[in-house]
Structure 1
């Protein structure tokens, strides 16, 4: 019988979740659900200066919003806790003792100044900096004397020469020469474990079957393989997924725009759209389809279909995909989702039926929910909609002015402005002015909405009503 699939997502609570880490969390969660395994949340908070309870709370809140329910974690516990590294320090000390007793770990008394000098000397010779083994050569008596005197020290792992190989689920067979990186630090001078040591101890004692993470961790894997072997642990299967790049093919950063899950959430991207989009960065469905339900992604996901090439974050594609999901929402759901964005924009909604009518008209023009306030604002404001320079250029033309005067004259013949009445008026204006097509319709759209493009104009006019249409068009007369 095969062992249970167990995977983990292990963020550091030093800020909001980067979208690249979110993609890693999604793929771990998808794989766990597909294999009917366990998805574990672990908090790597040993950086006391940068970690905070507020960041941890925000991370958990964002993951819940995204729909990534975990089976074990710091808030719900589990059989292999604690699930915060800051609460696991004794566990790391016990495993360090095992390594020390085997002769695989030794204390390093070199000061930071000494180590920096060694690094500088290596660089000046054109060599890759690595520890030269100074403290490895100390005898037992010298080490005991320094330890008993309280000399500050770190702990290093002694790396034996040899080639390290593993079969990566994404990248295939990989190999490293252990001599390339030298004896590495396990525990720092402050007594806290390094990433590689803590990750191995945690993954092994939490029974992780697979480690799915970004390919920026490939260089950590050889060191971790050495630790698994030295501690007598079974090695998990590794899957290193390609890094996400910006459109300029550099590492995705704030200069490319929003990069945290919280930013996308606050702009009104839907969780289902984000899961869909981020899953398709480096992976694809055999069907070639791009809009896929979470259920389909779970069913179809396969590491064999994951590209080894780095993925490019395309905000235009995300906006398109999110718009597809918005258009599929039930109208009452869209009304509920839109309400907080309208409130933040100072738009007071009293008549939900009217809002539903407006959103049914505007939803095809929404890519993310934060756009809704600008799109619906003309329907709620008493003042004419804001006009940008492009709009002013439209309504200030002589032809536009003729259209406005003619429209107002014909509008006075009606007590109520329906979509059908609007079309009748536009036909009359066309006949009177001789202007037709876009030259006729765009000036009216600009006057009523402040936009050059938008939904069906007769319906817009009907929702605005006669009085508001008359006021908005009168406001652009010169």
Structure 2
């Protein structure tokens, strides 16, 4: 059965970059009728916070990315320890004691000699007595996986055929000196034992994937299908990594972005298909095709979310936005006509409050000098309320007959006088809701 996973670290709020990974894995699982696992990568006890675990779940629930089960890596440390023991037994795991400063000096020396900055495996030649002395002096060392120096090859679901020379890659550290298990081995053990069949992640993980393929093979596991999506950039192609903290999903939610707008954009961004607003998750699942995505860096502009949000809101019924309409202060008896008036004239639900304030308090008239006499004459013809759906048409017809004005010269000055704006909702739907008309005074 197709099984995918999303494995965030609970060290902060998830952002649009994380969402891209989560969504692709989710859509693959749902399209195949498979399993989507939420796996919390909380092996770092210092940085992992329970509040972020809760926040991750809340953000995914807001988007409708429902998981089939939750796994926590902090509850599987015994499984990682067993895998580490197996690697030691087969001679693929060794302890190294270099300090960060020593490693940096080695890298600089290699670069100066025109060599790739790859760990030189000096620790492999340490006699046991020297290892004991280093432990006594520095504490436990890190544990590195010994790569077989051969080409590592796989067919990537997005990038195509990949071939990496393992000799050009440092033996990866899998366990730190303080005993913390790192992602590289924890993910391998989890993917193997949880039957993960497909893994989609960022292209910055390509080298990591190469090392993991060898670790999976060493542990006797089955390699999943790997795919690496392009990384997001800003709208001008600038690096987005430094801005991701300001693109947290909860921040976008606070700005009024609607879930289907965000999902519709992220499900197509970087693919050869145009971005189209989808009505629901079923449409997203049906239209998703991983093979349509490319390797080029993908431009993301947060402003693209707002036209999609506006279009999505236009499709909603009153029952779907009733809480937001009530929060704007609209009384229940006016909710239906108010939503009919406002729905095509908002970008986010927060804009509803402004339209209700206009209805309730009126607007400062916007009257051009050449239109003052005309507006004054027209306002004298406006009947006393209450108004209905026919009032605007009847009134402007009467004004036309008296003044001879027609078209834009008739309608625009009246709109500006009543609303203080040059554009907005159909006046036939807005006029019945105006409780104060300042242009009368």
Q: What TM-score do the two structures reach when normalised by structure 1?
A: 0.83
CA separation of 1:38/1:473 partners in 2, compared to 1, >3 Å: closer, same or farther? same
Give the deviation of 1:67 after TM superposition. Answer: 1.3
- State which of 421, 424, 435 in structure 1 corresponds to 2:391: 421
Find 1:264's aligned residue among 247, 252, 260. 252
Give the alignment of 1:43-54 within 5 angstroms.
Answer: 43-54=40-51
Contact 2:7 2:38 in 1 (8 A): yes
Partner of 1:80: none
Tell me, in whole angstroms, the C-alpha distance in 1 between the residues paired with 2:374 and 2:159: 64
| TM-fit CA distance, 1:303 | 2.4
Aligned residue number for residue 139 of structure 1? 127
Equivalent residue in structure 2 for 1:165, among 141, 153, 157: 153
- C-alpha distance 122-19 of structure 1, shift in aligned 2 (>3 A): same
Q: Paired residue for 2:411?
A: 441
- The 2-side partners of 1:153 and 1:121 are apart by 22
Gaps of 5+ in 2: none
User: In the aligned structure 1, how far is the partner of 2:28 from the partner of 2:243?
Assistant: 32
Distance 1:142 1:207 in 2: 41
What is the aligned partner in structure 2 of residue 328 from structure 1?
A: 315
2:434 paired with 1:464: yes
Closer, same or farther: CA 226–339 of 1 in aligned 2, 3 Å: farther
Match of 2:293 in 1: 306
Deviation digits for residues 270-301 of structure 1, max 9, x if unmatched? Answer: 3233322211123466x996536422332343
What secondary structure sits across from 1:212 in the alignment? strand
1:474 CA displacement: 4.7
TM-superposed CA distance for 1:377, in Å, is 2.4
1:35-434 alignment, distance < 5 Å: 35-73=32-70, 83-125=71-113, 127-144=115-132, 146-147=134-135, 151-252=139-240, 259-283=247-271, 291=278, 293-315=280-302, 317-340=304-327, 342=328, 348-349=329-330, 351-380=331-360, 382=361, 384-385=362-363, 394-395=366-367, 397-411=368-382, 414=384, 416-430=386-400
Count residues in correspondence.
Answer: 441
CA RMSD after TM alignment: 2.8
Residue 59 of structure 1: how far off its partner (Å): 0.8
Cα gap change, 1:149/1:422 in structure 2, threshold over 3 Å: closer, same or farther? Answer: closer
Q: Which runs of 5+ in 1 are unaligned?
A: 74-82, 343-347
Query: 8 Å contact 2:7–2:40 — kept in the other structure?
Result: yes
CA contact (8 A) 2:21 2:202 kept: yes
Please say if residues 277 and 312 of structure 2, whose CA atoms lie closer than 8 Å, have aligned partners that are also in contact.
no
CA contact (8 A) 2:41 2:73 kept: yes
Residue by residue, what CA displacement relative to the aligned partner does 1:60-85 show, whole Å, maximum 9, x if unpaired?
01111211111110xxxxxxxxx222
